[in-house]
Amino acid sequence: MTATEIVTQLARLEGWALRGEGSELSIEKTYPFANYYQTIAFVNAVAFIAHVLDHHPDLSVGFNSCVVRFNTHDVGGVSSTDLEFAARIDAALQ
């Protein structure tokens, strides 16, 4: 996907941003939580979705936040699967 296509798709997803350039393009979002327990519960939910989709994001876990980053190495950038997974994560939190 091109950066323009990604930005167009990201307009449907709140808080997600495009990072990098070229084959290093990725999308990411920081999810804030009240405490470590909630953060880890979120990480476990993302891990379950990753297992079901057989698609695995990069996670940076802190005490009260988690940064989720997608980049599909097979396509050298962001794929439609990355965007679908991002939407599923947001839906799971609602």
Q: Using one digit for the tens of pLDDT, what is the confidence trace for 11-62?
A: 999 999 999 887 789 999 999 999 999 999 999 999 999 999 999 999 999 9
Give the closest residue to 29 by CA, choosing from 56, 66, 80. Answer: 66
> Which CATH architecture is the domain 3-92 placed in?
2-Layer Sandwich (3.30)
Q: What does the domain layout of the chain look like in residue ranges?
A: 3-92
Predicted pLDDT at 21: 82
- Sequence-ordered list of residues with C-beta below 8 angstroms from that of 14, at least 6 positions apart, any chain: 90
Per-residue pLDDT, averaged over 50-75, amounts to 93
Q: What is the DSSP letter of 77?
A: B
Q: Which two tokens stand for residue 32?
A: 């804030």
Q: Report the predicted TM-score, pTM, of the whole model to 2 decimal places.
A: 0.92
Dihedral sign from CA coordinates of 3, 86, 23, 62: positive
